[in-house]
Amino acid sequence: MKIIQLDPSLTYRPEPENYLYRNYKYGPLVDRVKMTYTLMHKYQTLQFVKDKHVQWCTRTHRRMSVMEALSLLDNLVDESDPDVDFPNSFHAYQTAEAIRKVHPEKGWFQLVGLIHDIGKILALDNEPQWSVVGDTFPVGCKFQQSIVFSDTTFKDNADTNDPIFSTKYGIYKPNCGLENVLMSWGHDEYLYKVLTFNDCTIPEKGLYMIRFHSFYPWHTGGDYQHLCNEKDHKMLPWVKEFNKFDLYTKTEELPNIETLRPYYQSLIDKYCPGELKW
């Protein structure tokens, strides 16, 4: 049974109640956003995702620290985001600082807020944005209606009419667990793979937030319950707790990164120290 999730941010809104986030119907950025999703939904097939895992999950592309990776986001504006049009590095500190105010004792949670999007550096390394940014969704099974723009953008996807991939379960077994599902390729899975490969000590629930924070069709749309297991249900409240800070901190009031950097460097040194293999 599909469970429709309520707005996870009712207790945290730095903007007025009538401010509309994730507006995919109108606004100055909508055409750009829809084009990004149109390309994503056309080309993100099961085979494409498998190929990207082979290409990027060897961790042999470069070595750099987390702070160096974060600084690269100064050069990236997310083309799938209908809410803001400024570099992702500012959003990283906005999210982290909001978490810090509400959860001052959870340094690992603050760090997750800071680094959750740094996998987007793939878009600075010859990956098109449609293969890096945006909401994620499972491949290898039927695309669900809660995926943004799903009514028009999957018609040219090669998996849409496949006799197996177009079924409810596709290549998966009931309640197999999201960790056993191949998601559309993007920054979530890439960063998760980097952090686990480098033995970073962020708690499991933090790594889970990173891996599935863009899976809006699940944590907000209520779809794909048939693939979830007990672990996913237990982790869902943590993902929703993270989501309210990720989404509702997107304001034009930009943080002073220079003053904040030393504090967050101390968290990086604790949980993800030194040079990582990317």
CA distances from 142 to 77, 136, 139, 150, 212 (A): 30, 14, 8, 11, 19
Helical ranges in the chain per DSSP H:
30-43, 46-56, 66-72, 88-102, 107-115, 150-153, 187-197, 204-212, 216-219, 230-247, 257-271
pLDDT in tens, the chain (278 residues): 443 343 333 333 334 343 466 777 767 788 899 999 999 999 999 999 999 999 999 989 999 999 999 999 988 888 887 765 567 788 899 999 999 999 999 999 999 999 999 999 999 999 999 999 999 999 999 999 999 999 999 999 999 999 999 999 999 999 999 999 999 999 999 999 999 999 999 999 999 999 999 999 999 999 999 999 999 999 999 999 999 998 755 556 677 999 999 999 999 999 999 999 99
Q: Residues within the annotated binding site for Fe cation?
A: 91, 116-117, 187, 213, 246
Annotated binding site: which residue ranges? 22, 78-80, 91, 116-117, 120, 134-135, 187, 213-214, 246
Q: Are 259 and 44 in contact (CB under 8 A)?
A: no
Quote the CA–CA distance of 227 and 245 in Å, as a whole number. 26
CB of 133 closer than 8 Å to CB of 109: no
Residue ranges covered by each domain of the chain: 38-277
Q: Quick one: DSSP state of residue 74?
A: G
- Rounded distance, CA 75 to CA 268, Å? 21
Q: Please report, for residues 10, 21, 65, 209, the alpha-carbon distance to residue 4 in angstroms, rounded to integers and kept in the order given.
A: 15, 18, 39, 20
Q: Binding site for substrate: which residues?
A: 22, 78-80, 120, 134-135, 213-214
> Rounded to whole angstroms, how far apart are CA atoms 169 and 141?
6
